[in-house]
Amino acid sequence: MARPVLPLVRSEWVRLNRHQWSWHEGNCSELLVDGARYFPAMLGAIGSARRELLLEFYYVRSGALMDRLIEALVAASEREVRVCLLIDGFGGRELASADRQRLIRAGVQLAVYNPIRLRNVSLNLARDHRKLLLVDGEEVFTGGTGLTDEFYSGATHQPPWHELMLRLRGPVVGDWRTLFARQWWWVTGEQLAAAKMPPPCGHQRMKIATTAGPLHQGIKVSFRRQINRAEQRVWMVTAYFLPSWSVRRALRRAARRGVDVRLLLPGPYTDHPWLYHAARRYYHQLLLAGVRIFEYQPRFVHAKVSLCDDWVSLGSCNMDHWNLRWNLEANQEVQDADLAAKVVQTFVADQADSQEITLAGWQQRPRGHRIFSFVVGYVSALLLRLF
């Protein structure tokens, strides 16, 4: 029987998610840009699984991509691989009943975190926003993708949503499996076998960072600490930009002490236009401090990655008030110059497809645009703080 989800009340839930993860040496990673790269890699890994597949995803919807994934999971289950699929009750609401039954009939264990309730609306705000695929306890894919057609348009076309994923091997994979096992136990009551730490495979230093509501802000605290330590650069890509006052202050201070601070944010293509305008409410003070802001033009940039010197954080967490207050989030932190260089290369390429918002241009906006941005931004920020 599924356990009740009371994330801001139950002390048991709080203890479960306030784990302090450790740094591990000897890991390796591959940065995968867009679904045309990472979905074939994920499907290939599922196809080669021998013992166990563990999946935890927020945004799951029936469609062409999900059909391919279901086929791969069903085939894995038929060759006696254990398959556990954990989806969020709100983010997975568009996974059709026929698809759910197809998975269950094939032996896939399907669990739902915090199904939508009508009696207690406030509990519906708590969501599992993590994204990860674990293969045989040896390999993990994590980042910001959903299992929907927005992220994949086939091998020859760019998907409408621009996303980044990491493919990981090494000792840190053991922590990812522990993280999944705790959530699986909380939702289903079933205790998975203890995780084994995989052997070293490279030279990268890694640590998991998590967020679990206002009582555990590990991702934000870690990012703010790295901003304060940065000497060369602080670059960030996020789909929704409504950071706390402390993060905004850290960004401004870093820019004023000569650090190259850049933000790559969504432009006109976004799934939440009101959040786009709410984010613009913070532009003026950031621009005054010397922060450079780029709005990505071709597609919706859905990625969530932060870069401070050679420290990289990539995962599920957007830098916005809602994510940090209500969601379960997980990012992979990596201290490595090689991965940082690959992130820089991707950021620079995306920057070329962006419109830079300059202080002079921002101050010269028509009066009507200023009033509209202020009103929409103020109301949006107020609503987010009320909830």
Domains along the sequence of the chain with CATH:
15-386 (3.30.870.10)
Q: What is residue 367's predicted lDDT score, i.e. its pLDDT?
A: 83
Buried b (16+ CB within 10 A) or exposed e, 325-360: bbbbbbbbbbbbeebbeebeebbeebbeebeebebe
Which stretches within the chain are classed as H helix?
11-17, 35-48, 64-78, 97-105, 172-188, 218-229, 245-256, 273-280, 283-289, 321-326, 337-352, 359-363, 367-386
Q: Which residues of the chain have pLDDT under 50?
A: 1-2, 4-12
Q: What is residue 375's predicted lDDT score, i.e. its pLDDT?
A: 81
Look up residue 139 and give its amino acid.
E
Q: What is residue 321's predicted lDDT score, i.e. its pLDDT?
A: 74
φ, ψ at 336 (rounded to 5°): -165, 130
Measuring CA to CA, how many Å separate 352 from each of 16, 62, 341, 345?
Answer: 43, 34, 17, 11
Residue with tokens 């959903």: 146
Q: What is residue 1's predicted lDDT score, i.e. its pLDDT?
A: 41
Q: What is residue 17's predicted lDDT score, i.e. its pLDDT?
A: 61
Quick one: which of 309, 350, 317, 311 has its CA closest to 334?
A: 311
Q: What is residue 278's predicted lDDT score, i.e. its pLDDT?
A: 83
pTM, two decimal places: 0.93
Buried b (16+ CB within 10 A) or exposed e, 152-170: bbeeeeebbbbbbbbbbbb
Q: What is residue 366's predicted lDDT score, i.e. its pLDDT?
A: 85
Q: What is residue 124's predicted lDDT score, i.e. its pLDDT?
A: 84
Name residue 169's beta-bridge partners. 28, 139
* Other CB atoms within 10 Å distance of the CB of residue 287: 20
- List the catalytic residues: 129, 131, 136, 302, 304, 309
C-alpha to C-alpha distance for 207 and 213, rounded to whole angstroms: 20
Q: What is residue 78's predicted lDDT score, i.e. its pLDDT?
A: 97
